[in-house]
């Protein structure tokens, strides 16, 4: 035991330390001097997502947040100059349209008597002159009528009061309501084909009901170009363009402009039908359907640049290669899911050769060749897809994002963050 402690154990420790020292020398001075091989790791490729033109049914439905407003009282305009002689109603009375409100008396000036013709002179020197003939005044009586049915709100005339033509003498409150809301440029463009009716859903009110008459008004037309908002009915001119895309952060007009929900450019209103119980100030949702196109060639709004029926798409010269559609349109490369680029990658220009795919792109992956700019004719859109009337065939692949469109920030991400690239 004494020999083990004094001789064997120290020798064993010396051997262990010697092995460690040799290993460290080898790592530092032998293996460390060898050239390193190329690191194997994931690579990054900038890829442009493409989508396929497919057939679908496009329903142009626009939802507008609106408010229930009381219709303004209709003024009563006097139609005849004269003196008020009788009042048929008092403020607060219910009247029907064209019911008499008050009566005005107007004096009619008689025509002067005609001079006698071929009357022989009289020989009597003492004949007295004839007494002048007095003509009794002639009056006409005119009733002033209610301009609409409702409640007499004011009646600002008195008996024996002199009134003139065009004078405002009162007002009648119709007791009706109008649902009205502001629309932005994109919504106004989509409502060029003026809808005939709308479905109104009042918050906390009755079941959704149909409003039979929809009125569109341009703010510029209603305010003389002041740019202030307005509500209520009235015919107004609207212009047409291609609405803003909701996906990809781009706009269907070259990626610029305000998104939906931006600056109001017009109003849409609809009179609440008689018998529907509502109150002023209630919120409502107005759902307007302005056309439907069934079984037509469509592409996403993000893939089109243009306005007023004309647009431009970028057609991929080569079909996507080496990719097969996965679940929900996600592309897989060699059996493994591949990530997708952002719209900012699309702005870089076309990339040669297959790369990563774009999740959610129907039948698409990435551009496998240079793209071709092509003009197309546009039809209806539903806010996410647009009908291509001509210029593009079913099955052709186009860039999913307009080159130059701003990148879409991922949900919960920070500005400047981007999606991972495939590779």
Paired tokens of 341:
């680029």
Residue 346 within a domain: yes
Checking if the pLDDT of 128 tops 50, the result is yes
Average pLDDT over residues 187-206: 85
Q: Do residue 285 and residue 371 come from a single domain?
A: no
Domain end position, chosen among 173, 200, 219 = 173
Residue 227 within a domain: yes
Residue 323 within a domain: yes
Checking if the pLDDT of 172 tops 60, the result is yes
Q: Which domain holds residue 249?
A: 61-71+176-294
Residue 148 within a domain: yes
Segment of 24-38, 70-84, 226-240, 306-320 carrying the highest mean pLDDT: 70-84
Least-confidence region, from 12-26, 171-185, 359-373: 359-373
Q: What is the CATH number of the domain that holds 153?
A: 2.40.50.100
Q: Which is more confident, 337 or 375?
A: 375
pLDDT number for residue 179: 94
Paired tokens of 381:
């859109």
Strands 150-155, 94-95: pairing kind: antiparallel
Residue 160 to residues 81, 108, 164: CA-CA distances in angstroms?
12, 17, 13
- Residue 144 binned pLDDT confidence (cut-offs 50, 70, 90): very high
Segment of 35-49, 196-210, 228-242, 252-266 carrying the highest mean pLDDT: 196-210
pLDDT number for residue 125: 58
pLDDT number for residue 112: 64
Average pLDDT over residues 335-364: 39
Checking if the pLDDT of 58 tops 70, the result is yes
- Residue 357 binned pLDDT confidence (cut-offs 50, 70, 90): very low
Q: Do residue 266 and residue 185 come from a single domain?
A: yes
| Percentage of the chain lying above the pLDDT 70 cut | 63
Q: Do residue 158 and residue 181 come from a single domain?
A: no
DSSP per residue over 7-73, as a string?
IIHHHHHHHHHHHHHHHHHHHHHTGGGSPPPPPP--------BEEE-EEEEEEEEEEEEEEEEEPPP
Q: Which is more confident, 136 or 395?
A: 395
Q: Do residue 186 and residue 280 come from a single domain?
A: yes
pLDDT number for residue 15: 87
Checking if the pLDDT of 10 tops 90, the result is no
Checking if the pLDDT of 235 tops 80, the result is no
Q: Which is more confident, 337 or 86?
A: 86
Q: Are 303 and 381 in contact (CB under 8 A)?
A: no
pLDDT number for residue 305: 86
Average pLDDT over residues 315-321: 68
Q: Do residue 346 and residue 201 come from a single domain?
A: no
pTM: 0.58
Least-confidence region, from 210-224, 310-324, 366-380, 382-396: 310-324
Average pLDDT over residues 346-362: 39
Q: Which residues partner with 310 through β-bridges?
A: 307, 377
Domain end position, chosen among 294, 313, 347 = 294
Q: Do residue 288 and residue 190 come from a single domain?
A: yes
Residue 19 within a domain: no
Average pLDDT over residues 235-247: 36
Q: Do residue 141 and residue 158 come from a single domain?
A: yes
pLDDT number for residue 98: 94
In degrees and rounded to multiples of 5, residue 302 shows phi and psi of: -65, -15
pLDDT tens by residue, 365-423: 555 567 888 899 888 888 888 889 898 889 899 988 888 776 555 445 444 444 444 43
Say what the alpha-carbon torsion angle 375, 378, 382, 385 is, to the nearest 10 degrees: -30
Least-confidence region, from 31-35, 109-113, 226-230: 226-230
Helix, strand, or coil here: 346?
helix
Least-confidence region, from 14-28, 244-258, 367-381: 244-258
- Residue 213 binned pLDDT confidence (cut-offs 50, 70, 90): confident
Residue 232 CB coordination number (10 Å) = 15
Average pLDDT over residues 353-361: 37
Domain count, the chain: 3
pLDDT number for residue 64: 92
Q: Do residue 270 and residue 332 come from a single domain?
A: no
Which of 230, 200, 202, 205 has its CA nearest to residue 218?
Answer: 230
Q: Do residue 363 and residue 349 come from a single domain?
A: yes
pLDDT number for residue 340: 38
Domain end position, chosen among 261, 294, 327 = 294
Checking if the pLDDT of 68 tops 70, the result is yes
CA distance 63 to 117: 82
Residue 164 to residues 78, 83, 91, 157: CA-CA distances in angstroms?
7, 9, 21, 11
The enclosing H or E element of 411 equals: none
Least-confidence region, from 11-15, 157-161, 361-365, 371-375: 361-365
Mean pLDDT taken over the chain: 74
Q: Which is more confident, 310 or 358?
A: 310
Residue 40 within a domain: no
Q: Do residue 184 and residue 67 come from a single domain?
A: yes
Q: Do residue 180 and residue 140 come from a single domain?
A: no
> Whats the size of the chain, residue-wise?
423
Q: Do residue 286 and residue 185 come from a single domain?
A: yes
Q: Is 118 left (phi over 0), alpha (psi -120 to 50) or beta?
A: left
Residue 6 within a domain: no
Residue 267 within a domain: yes
Checking if the pLDDT of 149 tops 80, the result is yes
């Amino acid at each position: 035991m004494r020999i083990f402690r004094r001789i064997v154990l120290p020798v064993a420790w010396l051997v262990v330390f010697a092995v460690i020292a040799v290993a460290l020398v080898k790592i530092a001075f032998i293996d460390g001097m060898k050239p390193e091989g190329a690191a194997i790791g994931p690579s990054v490729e900038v890829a442009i997502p493409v989508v396929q033109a497919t057939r679908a049914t496009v329903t142009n439905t626009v939802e507008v947040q609106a408010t229930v407003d009381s219709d303004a009282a209709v003024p009563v305009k006097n139609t005849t100059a004269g003196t008020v002689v009788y009042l048929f109603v008092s403020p607060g009375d219910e009247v029907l349209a064209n019911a008499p409100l008050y009566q005005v008396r107007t004096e009619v000036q008689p025509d002067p008597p005609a001079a006698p013709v071929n009357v022989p002179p009289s020989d009597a020197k003492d004949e007295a002159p004839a007494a002048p003939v007095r003509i009794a005044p002639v009056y006409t009586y005119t009733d002033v009528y209610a301009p609409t049915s409702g409640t007499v709100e004011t009646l600002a005339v008195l008996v024996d009061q002199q009134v003139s033509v065009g004078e405002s003498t009162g007002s009648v409150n119709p007791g009706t309501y109008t649902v009205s809301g502001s629309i932005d440029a994109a919504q106004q463009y989509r409502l060029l084909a003026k809808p005939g009716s709308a479905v109104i859903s009042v918050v906390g009110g009755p079941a959704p009901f149909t409003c039979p008459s929809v009125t569109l008004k341009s703010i510029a037309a209603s305010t003389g170009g002041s740019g202030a908002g307005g509500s209520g009915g009235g015919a107004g001119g609207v212009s047409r363009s291609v609405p803003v895309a909701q996906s990809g952060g781009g706009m269907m007009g070259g990626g610029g402009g305000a998104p939906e929900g931006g600056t109001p450019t017009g109003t849409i209103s609809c009179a609440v039908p008689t018998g529907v119980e509502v109150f002023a100030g209630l919120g409502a949702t107005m759902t307007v359907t302005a056309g439907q196109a069934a079984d037509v060639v469509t592409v996403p709004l993000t893939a089109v640049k243009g306005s007023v029926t004309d647009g431009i798409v970028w057609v991929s010269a080569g079909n996507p290669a080496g990719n097969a559609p996965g679940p929900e349109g996600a592309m897989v490369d060699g059996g493994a899911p591949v990530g997708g680029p952002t719209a900012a990658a699309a702005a870089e220009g076309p990339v040669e050769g297959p790369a990563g795919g774009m999740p959610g792109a129907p039948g698409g992956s990435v551009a496998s060749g240079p793209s071709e700019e092509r003009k197309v004719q546009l039809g209806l859109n539903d806010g996410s897809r647009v009908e291509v009337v001509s210029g593009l065939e079913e099955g052709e692949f186009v860039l999913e994002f307009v080159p130059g469109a701003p990148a879409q920030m991922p949900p919960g991400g920070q500005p400047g963050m981007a999606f991972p690239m495939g590779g």
